[in-house]
Structure 1
């Protein structure tokens, strides 16, 4: 999942408190889980002729990492760029009443896009530091930026003088094409959607609502980021866990072992531990992260969103939020999710029968109702017995250092790139930095940071964060993109011998790594001239498609052979193990997708009911009507469902985008996953264009036909 930036869409207020977890198997873990083809944008300014309108005291490029490493620095980074944004907006406002001959693309919409860039520059890195910097003082200073950005954005959309200047230019009727035409259309639409037509008293209430929504979202996410719960177990509870896991969990003086709800502890324990009571206890704590405090915050937030939607003329928040996305309406979303539900009925029932059979064989009763915590464990047990697939044995071939090198080698080959590691000078010693260059010309494309290992007070999941947005600046220079990848993978440990012990990843971790790096590539390979559409600034229900597609590479024998070697012997994955992994792949997909269906429908229900009422009761109702697993009394999953803050009424987008990604894969599979010609076409037609081209048009250009759901339905039913 990736972290959004400033956008023209009102469903994406600037600097969302966006939670984008790792998206293995097409969706995140439930925890919370047009330019001419193939060239860089013109070197002329966004306004047209170079030098037509000078930028108001702006720098050609900025390095937020060099600035924002201290509380003072991160505050300065935010405040200075917000001030530059205000200067851009003031320049447009000063045009009100001017003759139409004085109104140009450059001094109206082009300048507006420059303001968006500065808002991004102000908030992107502070947002990251707010969830990743080890110093609490820096995190707290960084979190002060989002309310400031939100206040400016709200004022921007409600500014009549600003809108008058832009509308006056639009009335000239100048012929615009591509992303320039799209930006003008979106801006005019979004002035309406952000309340410009409301009377003064309602505009004031809207300002209050936006400020409170931002504040509550921050509190919710802060609670979630700091939430770490622990259970004590006996050493016997670690039976079934990998040796590396056991070695890292040493008994305390009382003989007990602490297991936390952090990812590296949680997922292996609930998947492999034979102590299923302890696994359920840990799952409950994991599910209830954020506690009753987050439940109350969420219900208040949902009420405020409902009020805002009605204030703006919409029935509910779902209708408001989905309007600018591919789906266009909540009705279309529910129709889509209904098709998913229908496609899953038979395969989900068959998978559940297999799990129950295994549950009984392990000593359970046929009348037992299985808790969601049993899905990972029983699926793994079935794969071992029915498909002879041992996921722990596979991990021996997936040392994180080899996986990282392999991922870089593969993407370099596909897209003609060269990665050069450079001094990170970053927020933690674990962080690595890489420049991305064109392999043929050595021209700089961008830069990314890898922050791969878990630590206290760090973002708990996996996501790509934008650090700097690419854009053709007014002076003709190109501001190159920068990204950061935040993960929580196992960390190689130093040994007494001076060597480093292997850090073995699960295959699911590898899929997650490929997924998130797909977002990095989408951000870095952009050629959009406008900040509004740069990189991953695409509509919410499309943006996951490129990264979901890239998950498939982690399942390819050709790809795995590049980096997957046994950490002791150096041997490749044996044929029998790979075949078992491939055979077992489809098993559990229906139940896993059913869980994602529950999350998507829960998101829709919570954002459709006005008033929302008891959110925990809604969770129970939706799960019982959707999921094959039992609802666990005493749990309130919504307190840990961070997507509700930044992916509001948009969680369906993971499956919507997955439908597109499975369709796109039909060409890659036909022509080869590592085929550089196919990869170039994908880069030119999709990755380079960001959000500046209609999403269906991009897919149609790449495939040579309109998108089809056939491959997706086949995938859900285990036929792929």
Structure 2
């Protein structure tokens, strides 16, 4: 998943939490990464973004700086601090230049000198914060991580001050009153900026503005601590070697006993296979409790403090709840609309989920359990495997034999290069860890971007799978194009003595996250504000959710999925079993997503202070067929609550759009290059600069519909 933290102006494409859909991770969406910020971009009245054109240099301002390489500059403690400080200083120079126009005659208030320059500020704050945020969660050295984390409070303080700057607002409002005819993303930017001065407290008195500054600083600090606690939390259980029964040979060989015990950690490559395949369900439940409680009770306290701060901030700005504040600029618009959407989903899932649960219980009894036994959340994955194997003859471990990670990576790159007319050139990474690889992206003989792949789990690394922005694309004020840079952070198996075999869930996750990379790479927005994945939060996952479908296609899988020993393609019977069993478990998995979205809404809608553990237990009792597990506090490890606060519903909202988009790809062919180019031009290239619903409508040739989504939920696809 991809998320922009801090604020709209920062344009920081910062990922937060897993986006991998099919993965059994409790907070992961069932088909997915955002997004967007304190202020998401709204659905503008403008019809769409213009093609990017060179802009004249701004009047009375320094020339735009040369393109910079944040990776080369920011991989040391001193370097990452300097990178942050230098770009914030540049941002301040630009703000000062705009403010100097206060009281200037109308002919001096040009787009370039006001709103265009304001977008340059957005770029500089993004440049200050993007790579330091990544280094704060991915660099192997603690000193660098700590130095990097010092940047986010600075960028947040800067953007808070900027939105509260009366002189800056006066100049931009004066330009708006001038009435220049703006089109496309420029018109959208003016509308959003004027709205966001209000949303960020400009109309408050001086005393309340100071309170807002203090709240924003405390929210930033609390969010950093919350995520750091999750990242540093690697819990484990010790089990007898016999408790590995049911696991793959490679997994067992990778977990040798020491002093008669085997250690299983809560890191993804350990956790997911164990809870899905281990026959020792007591051990699986014990590991689930450890996994769910990552972040510890300190994160429960931090979260409840954050909820109180967010509630206070919302009220200070004139909103009843944080949910009302956060949802206003998104596609959903209101908390009421989100509630109705979730209620509709819950109702549609009630009977299908009940039927799936009955099949899981039958599988439990067939395996020797009792009808009266309690089934716990991790049992869903284990019993789904049983049902799929018995009913559909599907063996997920056998399927993983065809997904060696190197072959999957090559296949993914080959397929996207073919679809979008791209070329990937591997280049020396010179990155933050030896495991990291780097690729330049070329199109029609021109370099258009670069991305880094950091695919394997390690200590103190970001625990989920997500795309992080490293550099934002923009048409610079001197007319040159700054191409984008991204990093993909994952926790897949690492090649070693045993073959690094991915589950099919991992493969789907890889395709999903690379969908975010493509969105970031293929942007042609002239503005940093709307570059790449800088769309409204409840749309941003749609392109990557859509791309998951490629990992289910026989045509696509035959291009790279080979048995790691024999080189054979996936057998017809195994592929058929995979696709026939696909729909089973979908209702329960989606119900889980509704549960998570409802937790998010409840925590951000209720009066504070509150007991967040009690809220989790209550919501689980109302929305999930699996019971709350005593002595757990899931919210302590729910990373989406930082950055996706009151926005988790967006995964399902975007999924509806993605299933609709797939109707054209299915009709034309998933590898149809004409259709792929239309998707690139009409949607991916626009970023957030055009109304998201409108871009989808243009691609489809009609208004979007929920029909495909509800057909999908009913298991008809």
CA distance in 1 between partners of 2:713 and 2:12 (Å): 34
Per-residue deviation, residues 291-322 of structure 1 (Å, max 9, x unmatched)? 11000000000000000000000000000000
Is residue 538 from structure 1 mapped to residue 535 from structure 2 by the alignment? yes
Is residue 145 from structure 1 mapped to residue 148 from structure 2 by the alignment? no
> In structure 2, do the counterparts of structure 1 residues 621 and 353 end up closer, same or farther at CA, with 3 Å as the change threshold?
same
Please give the residue correspondences for 1:699-710 in structure 2 after superposition, counting only pairs within 5 Å.
699-710=696-707
Is residue 30 from structure 1 mapped to residue 27 from structure 2 by the alignment? yes
Per-residue deviation, residues 391-425 of structure 1 (Å, max 9, x unmatched)? 00000000000000000000000000000000000
Per-residue deviation, residues 421-441 of structure 1 (Å, max 9, x unmatched)? 000000000000000001xx3
Per-residue deviation, residues 250-271 of structure 1 (Å, max 9, x unmatched)? 100x210000000000000000
- Residue 65 (structure 1) aligned to one of 56, 59, 71: 71
Is residue 454 from structure 1 mapped to residue 457 from structure 2 by the alignment? yes
1:24 Cα deviation from its structure 2 partner: 1.5
1:276 Cα deviation from its structure 2 partner: 0.3
Per-residue deviation, residues 647-706 of structure 1 (Å, max 9, x unmatched)? 000000000000000000000000000000000000000000000000110110000111
Give the aligned partner of residue 130 of structure 2.
124
Give the aligned partner of residue 471 of structure 1.
474
1:54 Cα deviation from its structure 2 partner: 6.2
Give the aligned partner of residue 36 of structure 2.
none
Give the aligned partner of residue 678 of structure 1.
675
Give the aligned partner of residue 360 of structure 2.
355
CA distance in 2 between partners of 1:313 and 1:98 (Å): 33
Please give the residue correspondences for 1:59-458 in structure 2 after superposition, counting only pairs within 5 Å.
59-252=65-258, 254-438=259-443, 441-458=444-461
Does structure 2 conserve the Cα–Cα contact (< 8 Å) formed by 1:6 and 1:532?
no
> In structure 2, do the counterparts of structure 1 residues 66 and 708 end up closer, same or farther at CA, with 3 Å as the change threshold?
same
Does structure 2 conserve the Cα–Cα contact (< 8 Å) formed by 1:157 and 1:191?
yes
Does structure 1 conserve the Cα–Cα contact (< 8 Å) formed by 2:404 and 2:564?
yes
1:109 Cα deviation from its structure 2 partner: 0.7
Is residue 555 from structure 1 mapped to residue 566 from structure 2 by the alignment? no
Give the aligned partner of residue 41 of structure 1.
52
Residue 490 of structure 2 aligns to a residue in which SS? Answer: strand
Per-residue deviation, residues 554-583 of structure 1 (Å, max 9, x unmatched)? 000000000000011100000000000000
Give the aligned partner of residue 506 of structure 1.
503
1:612 Cα deviation from its structure 2 partner: 4.3
> In structure 2, do the counterparts of structure 1 residues 36 and 324 end up closer, same or farther at CA, with 3 Å as the change threshold?
closer
CA distance in 1 between partners of 2:102 and 2:540 (Å): 36
CA distance in 2 between partners of 1:137 and 1:219 (Å): 16
Per-residue deviation, residues 84-108 of structure 1 (Å, max 9, x unmatched)? 0001111111111111121011111
Does structure 1 conserve the Cα–Cα contact (< 8 Å) formed by 2:229 and 2:295?
yes
Please give the residue correspondences for 1:602-621 in structure 2 after superposition, counting only pairs within 5 Å.
602-621=599-618
CA distance in 2 between partners of 1:684 and 1:447 (Å): 19
1:368 Cα deviation from its structure 2 partner: 2.0
What TM-score, normalized to structure 2?
0.96
Residue 237 of structure 2 aligns to a residue in which SS? Answer: strand
Does structure 2 conserve the Cα–Cα contact (< 8 Å) formed by 1:7 and 1:537?
no
Per-residue deviation, residues 185-240 of structure 1 (Å, max 9, x unmatched)? 00000000000000110000000000000000001001010001010001101000
Does structure 1 conserve the Cα–Cα contact (< 8 Å) formed by 2:660 and 2:704?
yes
> In structure 2, do the counterparts of structure 1 residues 612 and 351 end up closer, same or farther at CA, with 3 Å as the change threshold?
farther
Does structure 2 conserve the Cα–Cα contact (< 8 Å) formed by 1:323 and 1:329?
yes
Is residue 688 from structure 1 mapped to residue 688 from structure 2 by the alignment? no
CA distance in 2 between partners of 1:165 and 1:503 (Å): 57
Residue 123 of structure 1 aligns to a residue in which SS? Answer: helix
Give the aligned partner of residue 498 of structure 1.
none
Does structure 2 conserve the Cα–Cα contact (< 8 Å) formed by 1:18 and 1:643?
no
Residue 562 of structure 1 aligns to a residue in which SS? Answer: coil
Give the aligned partner of residue 492 of structure 1.
495
- Residue 660 (structure 1) aligned to one of 657, 675, 686: 657
Does structure 2 conserve the Cα–Cα contact (< 8 Å) formed by 1:235 and 1:257?
yes
Does structure 2 conserve the Cα–Cα contact (< 8 Å) formed by 1:38 and 1:684?
no
1:630 Cα deviation from its structure 2 partner: 1.0
Does structure 1 conserve the Cα–Cα contact (< 8 Å) formed by 2:64 and 2:476?
no
Alignment length (residue pairs): 703
Give the aligned partner of residue 3 of structure 1.
3
1:361 Cα deviation from its structure 2 partner: 1.2
CA distance in 2 between partners of 1:16 and 1:419 (Å): 22
1:30 Cα deviation from its structure 2 partner: 1.7
Give the aligned partner of residue 39 of structure 2.
none
CA distance in 1 between partners of 2:705 and 2:371 (Å): 41
> In structure 2, do the counterparts of structure 1 residues 610 and 644 end up closer, same or farther at CA, with 3 Å as the change threshold?
same
Does structure 1 conserve the Cα–Cα contact (< 8 Å) formed by 2:2 and 2:13?
no
> In structure 2, do the counterparts of structure 1 residues 190 and 717 end up closer, same or farther at CA, with 3 Å as the change threshold?
same
Residue 3 of structure 1 aligns to a residue in which SS? Answer: coil
> In structure 2, do the counterparts of structure 1 residues 645 and 689 end up closer, same or farther at CA, with 3 Å as the change threshold?
same
Does structure 1 conserve the Cα–Cα contact (< 8 Å) formed by 2:8 and 2:529?
yes
Per-residue deviation, residues 156-188 of structure 1 (Å, max 9, x unmatched)? 000000000000000001110000000000000
CA distance in 2 between partners of 1:656 and 1:382 (Å): 29
1:329 Cα deviation from its structure 2 partner: 0.5
Of 166-175 and 54-63, more deviation after overlay is shown by: 54-63
1:4 Cα deviation from its structure 2 partner: 1.8
> In structure 2, do the counterparts of structure 1 residues 225 and 697 end up closer, same or farther at CA, with 3 Å as the change threshold?
same
CA distance in 1 between partners of 2:176 and 2:92 (Å): 22
Of 24-33 and 664-673, more deviation after overlay is shown by: 24-33
CA distance in 2 between partners of 1:85 and 1:502 (Å): 48
CA distance in 2 between partners of 1:67 and 1:588 (Å): 47
Residue 590 of structure 2 aligns to a residue in which SS? Answer: helix
CA distance in 2 between partners of 1:38 and 1:618 (Å): 43
Give the aligned partner of residue 640 of structure 1.
637
> In structure 2, do the counterparts of structure 1 residues 425 and 361 end up closer, same or farther at CA, with 3 Å as the change threshold?
same
Does structure 2 conserve the Cα–Cα contact (< 8 Å) formed by 1:156 and 1:162?
yes
CA distance in 2 between partners of 1:535 and 1:18 (Å): 13
1:26 Cα deviation from its structure 2 partner: 9.6
Of 97-106 and 585-594, more deviation after overlay is shown by: 97-106
1:75 Cα deviation from its structure 2 partner: 0.3
